[in-house]
Amino acid sequence: MRGLYAIVDEGTLAARRLDPLAFAAAVLAVRPAALQLRAKDLPPRETLALLRALAPMCHRAGVPLVANDRPDLAMLAGCDLVHVGQTDMPVERVRRIAPGLRVGVSTHTLEQLDAALAAKPSYVAFGPVFETRSKASPDPVVGVALLRTAAVRASTAGVPLVAIGGITRERAREMIGAADAVAVIADLVPAIVAGDPMREVTARAATLHALFAPEPLAAGLAP
């Protein structure tokens, strides 16, 4: 996993009156490393409906679709992965109930990272690298220096590392060589929703993905 780990945050998009499917399509144009649906405030039925709509879009683009927190919804929707946090279902249990589903794990300390790496997930997320507003009660900021330490441990274990927390196009440049991918929510969303906002979404995604992607972007998508 290398490049942009794009997060479609339903709450953020609803506040800007942006359609999540149109937003996802704009991001998928750059073929990011992965696309996750984050819908903390939606009922399970609506979350499942969104995942089911996103699944064929992601698969046509060759991009893994990640469900947040819910392996049951991930299985029902045909997702490729589920992302779990420290208070969610452990990796081993996810594998028991959904053996075909790959798992990614959020970690916030080196101790949590080491425990997650021992389970050999598909990737580990580490952060928040910077201050973030996407969570009501975020964990303490880890900073770029600790991220680099985490990257060495993850590389030794053969597990991709995704940097999370407060990442923007400018800050992402600090993490080149310290992460395989960067998870981004807010900086994919235009500050002003006017004109052709989805074109700007694609441009923002292209800029972020190009910093970490293993191959050059297609013509017309480069920042």
Assign residue 72 the CATH number of its domain.
3.20.20.70
**Residue 198 domain-assigned?**
yes
- Mean pLDDT of the region 188-207: 89
Calculate the CA dihedral of residues 178, 208, 103, 11 and round it to 10 degrees: 130
The residues pairing with 103 across neighbouring beta strands, listed in sequence order, are: 82
pLDDT in tens, 85-101: 998 889 999 999 999 89
Checking if the pLDDT of 217 tops 80, the result is no
Share of the chain above pLDDT 70, in %: 93
pLDDT in tens, 118-161: 999 999 999 999 987 766 677 899 999 999 999 999 999 999 99
**Residue 78 domain-assigned?**
yes
- Mean pLDDT of the region 37-60: 97
- Provide the strand spans (E) within 31-85: 34-38, 65-68, 81-84
Number of neighbours of residue 168 by Cβ within 10 angstroms: 15
**Residue 221 domain-assigned?**
no
pLDDT band at residue 38 under the 50/70/90 scheme:
very high
Q: Please calculate the CA angle 52-58-190 and round it to the nearest 5 degrees.
A: 100
Domain count, the chain: 1
Share of the chain above pLDDT 90, in %: 83
Checking if the pLDDT of 215 tops 60, the result is no
pLDDT of residue 195: 77
pLDDT band at residue 221 under the 50/70/90 scheme:
very low
| Mean predicted lDDT score pLDDT of the chain | 92
**Residue 154 domain-assigned?**
yes
**Residue 68 domain-assigned?**
yes
| Cβ–Cβ under 8 Å, residues 211 and 173 | yes
**Residue 178 domain-assigned?**
yes
pLDDT of residue 192: 73
- Mean pLDDT of the region 48-62: 98
Give whole-number Cα distances, 118 to 96, 106, 124, 153, 159, in Å: 17, 14, 11, 11, 10
Which residue range is the domain that position 206 belongs to?
Answer: 3-212
**Residue 18 domain-assigned?**
yes
**Residue 223 domain-assigned?**
no
